[in-house]
Structure 1
Amino acid sequence: MKGFLHVLRALRDAARRVEAGEVQGPALQALLALEAGADDLLAGDPDLVALRRLLYRLRALSCSLDLCSAGAAGSGSLSLRARWRRCGAWKAVARVAGAVAGEIQAWVDREAIAHLVAALRGGRADAARSLLAELEERLLSLGGRFDPRLQRALLRHGVFPAVEAGLGDPAVGDGCAAAVLALVRFNKDVFVGPVLMGPDVGALVASASASASAAPLRALNGLVDAIRSPLVDELHARGELPRLVALLCAPDPRARVPALGFALRVGYYGRKEVVDALLAEGLVKRLLCLQRSDLGGSLADTDTDEDEDGCPKAKPDDAKADGSLLLACLPAVWRRHDGAADTDMEERPFVSAVARFAVQVEVGVGLSPREKRETKLEILRRVREAAVSPAEEATVLAEVLWGATP
């Protein structure tokens, strides 16, 4: 199987080289050799009829190109006319080669998808992982474009049910999770319904809770980005939010970063009852724990007694007495750190986690303006309850109050 797919991909690449201008050389000869054996290799398959016709056309154009090249070797006006004809023949060969490449790519898709489904149903984990990665790469390579022949192949072979069944298998679960996300991004109209109605959501949550891999959570975050509020509502209706909030304190730090990303997405897309459910599960307390970790902190942290904006740094005693200094200085601190926000997020992914969640709720699409104000007050109340010191309370309250302001 691998050898056959390797040959098909080599022929596809040869056709693309001819399309790019390599109209004379080994690439074209490989396609002409395929045409010579078309009666034996391509006969009997209705999906290959168009490929056979294109190869016959390519053979005829190749012969015409040879004649034009022979004529161009002469001199005088005939030579100029021959060169003009040869240029037209080059363009025609390249155009037909591009169509051949498309037909061979469709052939590769059909074979790879058929073998993927067989590998998943047959329990061949090694082959399935490789083919799942290839399917994901193929879907991503489209860049948002729709391929109807690929869609037909996916539906004909039942790829989605096979991938769905593999979500709970530790051997192929990560690859299946990534494939589900790639399928949804490829065609939301077809695959969003099965995700919402099927076991995919529960399987991804269970896999994220049971395994050390972050792949299920990354896939779940991608699905929330693609499906938005309907998926958030479905997670809430199925009672999956508590398990996802608990992942913020997972033993493996690799799961905490996508878990925080999930919380931020739910804060943006979730309705009032969904956000309330997150808060009721102790979300603010868990976010504060992340901020206290080595990968956390506050964007208001500085290392000197006076920052570069001329704003004096608050000492612990000052913070205990009054948080007004932080309230006054934080706008300048946020402006200073705004240019380095991406670096801060990479090096310290949990920095100002509470404020970031509050901002998502503030700018989100799930709550009305009144509900946003009520939720903001509830976040502030829970910060006061969960803070371990007056200094932490003053810092986080200042970040929430400033960060949620446009």
Structure 2
Amino acid sequence: MEEGEGFLRVLRALRDAARRVEAGEGRGPALQALLALEAGADDLLAGDPNLSALRRLLYRLRALSCSVDLCGAGEEGGGVIGFLRAQCRRCGARRGIARVAGAVAGEIQAWIDRETIARLVAELRRSEGGGGADAARALLAELEARLLSVGRFDPRLQRALLQHGVFATVEAKLGDPAVCDGCAAAVLALVRFNKDVFVGPVLMGPAVGALVAAASGSPAPLRALNGLVAAIRSPLVDELHARGEVPRLVALLCAPDPRVRTLALEFALRVGYYGRKEVVDALLAEGLVKRLLCLQRSDDLGGSLADADDPYCSPKAKPDAKGVSLLARLLGRRCEDDGAAALASERPFASAVARFAVQVEVGEGLSPREKRAAKLEILRRAREAAVSPAEEATVLAEVLWGATP
């Protein structure tokens, strides 16, 4: 393990050296390190056909470096003309060194990708919640960062992912609590890297069910599921509904962890935007509006959702304080000065019912007629779930005309 990590550190150092040479660093330690690698290429790189291009580039780099030295001698018979010609050749050789160094950096990065992916698959297959879990988590984080940092499609990285069966290996470990969070993030990163290849396995395999099952214990699986809905949209929402996962996800609005509740609200809003009529009806049938009102009360009063006697986790009502708070919001007396972003972070459940209604109304899944019917159903359920006339008036006003800014 330590030997392999040391080898990867050496490769990263060589890649960074090549990038410094590409950026214009002259005959310094970075170039010398690459030339030293070329000197040992016959011993270090000869056995791997994937490294043949790197060997050729390193040989070209040494040739260009030698040409710069020859140009410095000024062999043109002396005079100004000879000096200028030598300078032009030297500048051309330096530009060539920069281009070749950039290609060397790319080849070394591909080498790093192959080594990292191979080690990740080996560690995931070896780890069963024991000592290998730490190494697996580190490699998962490294793979996620690499996938997210790719500016454009990298066919060599794609080839390495497919050759080692990374998706299937990561998917199989989603049920392991020791590495579940990293695997969930990796699944999302793989889909974002190449939807054409990885969306199909997500929809057809057990990844979605495993993420839903793990969502109650940690925010990472639900965060990944939200990202997958944003990336795949209606097909994933339809698949969740077909598998009967909607009730379990709505129930997460009452999870003990406030981070999970916040992510569950985000999920409900996304589903409201992309979901078809059957999905939206399923959300409402599971008591979504009542749960959202529960969250709004906890947000306004600063309370928790810990009342286990209420199946919808509603806190005990405080009509007087609630009425004052809601009337203040209705009259526009909120005076937060930190902007919308700060408000969203400090009070993530404010106007939750209205926000869901807006997502349904502007979403992609319903026809105009279905949107009107859904809005009326949201209003009806909001009237039934309100605990006071003030709350009912505020929620109805927010749904019909928008929340007070």
Q: TM-score, normalised by structure 1?
A: 0.88
Equivalent position of 1:305 in the other structure: none
Equivalent position of 1:159 in the other structure: 166
Aligned partner of 1:58 among 61, 77, 86: 61
Change (3 A) 1:125 1:38: same
Query: Aligned partners of 1:129, 1:41: CA distance in 2, in Å?
Result: 29
Equivalent position of 1:101 in the other structure: 105
Query: Aligned partners of 2:297, 2:320: CA distance in 1, in Å?
Result: 16
Residues 296, 351 of structure 1: 8 Å contact kept: no
Change (3 A) 1:130 1:84: same
Equivalent position of 1:373 in the other structure: 372
Query: Aligned partners of 2:214, 2:49: CA distance in 1, in Å?
Result: 41
Residues 284, 379 of structure 1: 8 Å contact kept: yes
CA shift, 1:342, in A, is: 2.1
Equivalent position of 2:296 in the other structure: 291
Change (3 A) 1:254 1:101: same
Aligned partner of 1:253 among 252, 258, 267: 258
Output aligned runs, 1:337-356, within 5 Å: 340-356=339-355
Query: Aligned partners of 2:111, 2:224: CA distance in 1, in Å?
Result: 28
Query: Aligned partners of 1:278, 1:60: CA distance in 2, in Å?
Result: 67
Change (3 A) 1:388 1:295: closer
Query: Aligned partners of 1:103, 1:241: CA distance in 2, in Å?
Result: 46
CA shift, 1:339, in A, is: 9.5
CA shift, 1:39, in A, is: 0.4
Change (3 A) 1:162 1:296: farther
Equivalent position of 2:385 in the other structure: 386
Query: Aligned partners of 1:88, 1:226: CA distance in 2, in Å?
Result: 45
Residues 185, 226 of structure 1: 8 Å contact kept: yes
Residues 355, 403 of structure 1: 8 Å contact kept: yes
Q: Deviations over 1:64-90 (max 9, x none)?
A: 011123329976332222111111111
CA shift, 1:252, in A, is: 1.1
Residues 18, 97 of structure 1: 8 Å contact kept: yes
Output aligned runs, 1:51-130, within 5 Å: 51-71=54-74, 76-123=80-127, 124-130=132-138
Query: Aligned partners of 1:371, 1:400: CA distance in 2, in Å?
Result: 16
CA shift, 1:392, in A, is: 0.3
Q: TM-score, normalised by structure 2?
A: 0.88
Output aligned runs, 1:5-404, within 5 Å: 5-71=8-74, 76-123=80-127, 124-143=132-151, 145-209=152-216, 211=217, 213-294=218-299, 340-403=339-402
CA shift, 1:372, in A, is: 0.3
Q: Deviations over 1:113-157 (max 9, x none)?
A: 0000000001121111000000000000014x1000000000001
Query: Aligned partners of 2:143, 2:106: CA distance in 1, in Å?
Result: 17
Could you list the runs of 5+ residues in structure 2 that have no partner in the other structure?
303-318
Query: Aligned partners of 1:235, 1:326: CA distance in 2, in Å?
Result: 36
Between the aligned residues of both structures, percent identity stands at 80
Could you list the runs of 5+ residues in structure 1 that have no partner in the other structure?
298-314
RMSD, matched Cα: 2.4
Q: Secondary structure at the match of 2:215?
A: helix
Query: Aligned partners of 1:114, 1:75: CA distance in 2, in Å?
Result: 58
Q: Give aligned pairs, total.
A: 377
Query: Aligned partners of 1:24, 1:296: CA distance in 2, in Å?
Result: 66
Change (3 A) 1:168 1:78: same
Change (3 A) 1:326 1:30: closer
Q: Secondary structure at the match of 1:170?
A: coil
Change (3 A) 1:316 1:398: farther
Change (3 A) 1:75 1:133: farther
Residues 295, 349 of structure 1: 8 Å contact kept: no
Query: Aligned partners of 2:337, 2:225: CA distance in 1, in Å?
Result: 28
Query: Aligned partners of 1:339, 1:374: CA distance in 2, in Å?
Result: 37
Residues 296, 352 of structure 1: 8 Å contact kept: no
Change (3 A) 1:275 1:72: farther
Residues 23, 98 of structure 2: 8 Å contact kept: yes
Query: Aligned partners of 2:347, 2:71: CA distance in 1, in Å?
Result: 65
Change (3 A) 1:128 1:326: closer
Q: Deviations over 1:149-205 (max 9, x none)?
A: 000000001101110011000000000000000000000010000000000000000
Q: Secondary structure at the match of 1:66?
A: helix
Query: Aligned partners of 1:95, 1:326: CA distance in 2, in Å?
Result: 61
Q: Deviations over 1:36-57 (max 9, x none)?
A: 0000000021100100000000
CA shift, 1:326, in A, is: 8.5
